Amino acid sequence: MIILDNVVKTYSTGSPALDGISMHVAKGEFVFIMGESGSGKSTLIKLLTKELSPTSGKIIVNNTDLSKLKHRNIPKFRRSVGCVFQDFRLLKDRNVYENVAFAQLVIQKSAKEIRRNVPAMLSIVNLAEKYKSFPRELSGGEQQRVAIARALVNEPPILLCDEPTGNLDPRNSWEIMKLLEEINEGGTTVVVVTHNSEIVNAMQKRVITMKRGMIVSDEQRGGYIYED
């Protein structure tokens, strides 16, 4: 589902954010990407969503070679990749139902399809009864569940999560990770960038550790051990 081949990203300062990254993520995998601040994790996510382009190297996401992707086709490509962020990024003036429905409106789903798909997705994230609530009326964990529902309602094969528990307390963090695990068990490929070593060590998934723009370890059923 994701292939990076010797990817380099150098910013205008001249320092490499990514320094020759190569990695493969297979269909249906659950992968953690870990590392200290400045290790290149966020740059990697931005490359996978075509927010940035690499200085050199090849990136293929869901059978799309991003180096050959025309600018006009970027929005269509992004619909095949669900994204969840630390800061939720919900529309504050729209309720839960409308936030999730917005993702369907973007791809021009019919009103009938939206009426079927949105409640079904809200049930999956255990928010069916909160469909009329606005973001300000929800806890942080509930807001992140809305964000996950919005990211998944169009059934993307890949879900990218950038620090999804960064603004949550431990209990809500665990609930979100359990939800992501359930989503993965349903067949969605899940990639999670996180600082939360406790969760990573407990879940025993594949762990890719980055340091100074390079991959320093890639362990199946691994944990996170930071070494200077």
Confidence of residue 224 (pLDDT cuts 50, 70, 90): low
Tell me the whole-structure pTM to 2 decimals: 0.91
For 112-124, the pLDDT digits (tens) are: 999 999 999 999 9
For 137-184, the pLDDT digits (tens) are: 999 999 999 999 999 999 999 999 999 998 999 999 999 999 999 999
- Single-letter residue type at 72: R
Residue 111 Cα distances to 36, 115, 119, 127, 188, angstroms: 45, 6, 13, 21, 25
Q: Beta strand pairing status for 2-10 and 16-25?
A: antiparallel
Q: What are the strands, taking DSSP E only, across 70-188?
A: 81-85, 158-162
- Asked if 191 and 31 touch (Cβ cutoff 8 Å), the reply is yes
Phi, psi of 136, deg, nearest 5? -65, -15
CA dist., res. 188 & res. 183, Å (int): 6
pLDDT value at residue 1: 92
User: Which residues, in sequence order, are CB contacts of 85 under 8 Å at separation 6+?
Assistant: 147, 161, 162, 163, 164
Neighbour-count burial of 32, counting CB atoms closer than 10 A to its CB (0-12 exposed, 13-18 middle, 19+ buried): buried
Strand partners, 208: 33, 218
Spans of all domains in the chain: 1-80+157-228, 91-155
Q: How many residues does the chain have?
A: 228
For 64-103, the pLDDT digits (tens) are: 999 999 999 998 898 889 999 989 999 999 999 999 999 9
Query: What fold, for 1-80+157-228?
Result: Rossmann fold (3.40.50)
User: Which residues, in sequence order, are CB contacts of 163 under 8 Å at separation 6+?
Assistant: 85, 86, 193, 194, 195
Nearest to 163 by CA among 195, 211, 209: 195
CA dist., res. 175 & res. 148, Å (int): 12
